[in-house]
Chain A
Amino acid sequence: MKILVIDLSTSNIRSLTSALIYLGVQPVVTSDPSVIESASHVILPGVGAFDTGMKRIAELSLGIPLRTYALEQQRPLLGVCLGMQLLFNESEEGRLSGLGLVSGQFRKLKSTYQSMHKVPHVGFSPVYGYRETDLFKGIGPKGCFYFTHSYALQGIEEDWNVALCDHVQPFVAAFQKRKICGVQFHPEKSQSTGLRLLSNFLELV
């Protein structure tokens, strides 16, 4: 196994690598586009603004290797938090285009006084609606994950395996489309449930 964690230097990737090391693998932290094609698994983490993330991807020339890896080689790719948003074509938050590996729209969660929901959405929340296969194997119903975000995927067109979460309104908390996976939450901060999800990702081949 050759597991890459892409370092966009926008986020604290230390906890993600700690989680992978706990599972018994030695991830390679890199921003080198040339090593992507030889990876068995690629994880794209990120926090912060959409455009900042896409700018870093452009500066590091990671766009084409990531597309080739995910769409032509069809190997497992996991986007985490902002990393999930970058897999899509666009976000209401940014003006730049995303990687466009999958299509869907991210919109800002809008706090309402009646709902008492605060934005950003911070904390552990249960997710639902997924089939317990592949990425969601053994998670059990209503798996709880740690979220911290203001923008959320508001709907998808195709029949992916999708986990939903309710905060202000229902949104897509995680998805798997063949080998392309994205999670809005932080599996590396979600106790053993998050470690299980990461383990499931590593089992995708």
Chain B
Amino acid sequence: MLSRNFRLQAVGTIDWLFNNYDFLNVSHGLDELIVLDVSKGVRNPEAFGAVVSHIASRCFIPVTVGGGITSFDIAQGFMRSGADKLLVNSAFANDAGLCRALAEHFGRQCVVGGIDYKATPQSSQAIMIDNGTREVSTDLSGWVEFLQENGAGEILFQSVDQDGTGMGLDLSVVDGLRHRPEVPCILMGGIGKADHIIAGLQHPTIDAVATANLYNFIGSAFLDVRKSIAETGMEMARWNSCEYVALHNKFATSA
């Protein structure tokens, strides 16, 4: 299925998401959640932190928060709002010292280095920052190593060209690297069906896949995808979602 670029399509407020899409139920099919501030122009980290806080208080999986991490204070604000990890992209080019400081303070397992790349007339893999407006390198292998040296405990590769197409992940991106990254690698951009997820997870260098294309996965769709993946013999985390109902306010009367 072809779809538009959902990452950049305004769909509504966080309340809209909770009210219309039973988002907490969707989270029962996920291992982890990434929440990105993709606001254009001036960002409001406090308001975004409130959104993070709202999500994190009812979502019992690790939450990665990103978008606009330009200072230690903003990062710390996100962590206090309930983030478990920080997705940092432009800061690696603009202020690598900040990235090292975040790894030092929160531990490198908290720092996810994001790499947005796309084909340009000069390069098949130009690395873009500042919302895709500025090219910083065409040496993907070198950039991966730079991120690891400056505090990244995981790397999230995102193909700008594949994003929103629903045509599948760009698996070739990790095949071209000179060295296999030492840290976990996440691939994002282009997932349109379960087979795309399976293909990503079967790749030996890829540890996880991510999708922003929520609309393909409404209701129990993520749980169904997990079943399809498990049927291929891959190990998938399993839990009993019915337990959420049984455990909610279980101790309320005796509190």
Contact = CB atoms under 8 A, between A and B. Distances in A.
Contacts of A202: 251
Contacts, number: 118
B31 A124 contact: yes
Given A12-B79, A192-B244, 20 more contacts: A18-B58, A18-B82, A21-B57, A22-B60, A23-B247, A24-B253, A48-B107, A116-B204, A122-B184, A123-B31, A124-B237, A142-B238, A144-B238, A148-B62, A189-B61, A189-B62, A190-B61, A192-B60, A192-B247, A193-B243
Contact of B244 (A15, A47, A140, A195): A195
Contact of B183 (A118, A142, A189): A118
A24 B153 contact: no
A23 B240 contact: no
Which of A26, A125, A143, A146 has most chain B Cβ within 10 Å? A146
B239 A22 contact: no
B73 interface: no
A109 B244 CA distance: 33
Nearest to B248: A22
A188 interface: yes
A124 B239 CA distance: 11
A22 B255 contact: no
Contact of B62 (A116, A146, A195): A146
B243 A23 contact: no
A23 B251 CA distance: 6
Interface of B: 28, 31, 53, 56-58, 60-62, 79-84, 107, 109, 153-154, 182-184, 204, 207-208, 235, 237-244, 247-255
Interface string A136-172: 0000101110101000000000000000000000000
Contacts of B154: 122
A123 B251 contact: no
Contacts of A195: 60, 243-244, 247
Interface of A: 1, 12, 14-15, 18-19, 21-26, 47-48, 111, 116, 118, 120, 122-126, 140, 142-144, 146, 148, 186, 188-196, 199, 202
A146 B84 CA distance: 12
Given A24-B251, A48-B107, A194 B79 contact: no
The interface residues of chain A, by DSSP majority, are classed as mixed
Nearest to A146: B62
A23 B253 CA distance: 11
Contacts of A120: 109, 153
B60 A118 contact: no
Nearest to A111: B182
A24 B252 contact: yes
Contacts of B241: 191-192
Nearest to B253: A24
Contact of B61 (A14, A24, A26, A191): A191
Nearest to A194: B60
Given A23-B251, A118-B182, A148-B109, A191 B60 contact: yes
A15 B255 contact: no
Contacts of A25: 251-252, 255
Contact of B243 (A19, A48, A188, A196): A196
B208 A123 contact: yes
A26 B244 contact: no
Which of A116, A123, A194 has most chain B Cβ within 10 Å? A123
25 contacts: A12-B79, A14-B57, A15-B56, A15-B82, A15-B84, A22-B60, A22-B247, A24-B253, A25-B252, A122-B184, A123-B31, A143-B239, A144-B238, A146-B31, A148-B62, A189-B60, A189-B84, A191-B60, A191-B237, A191-B241, A192-B244, A192-B247, A193-B239, A194-B60, A196-B247
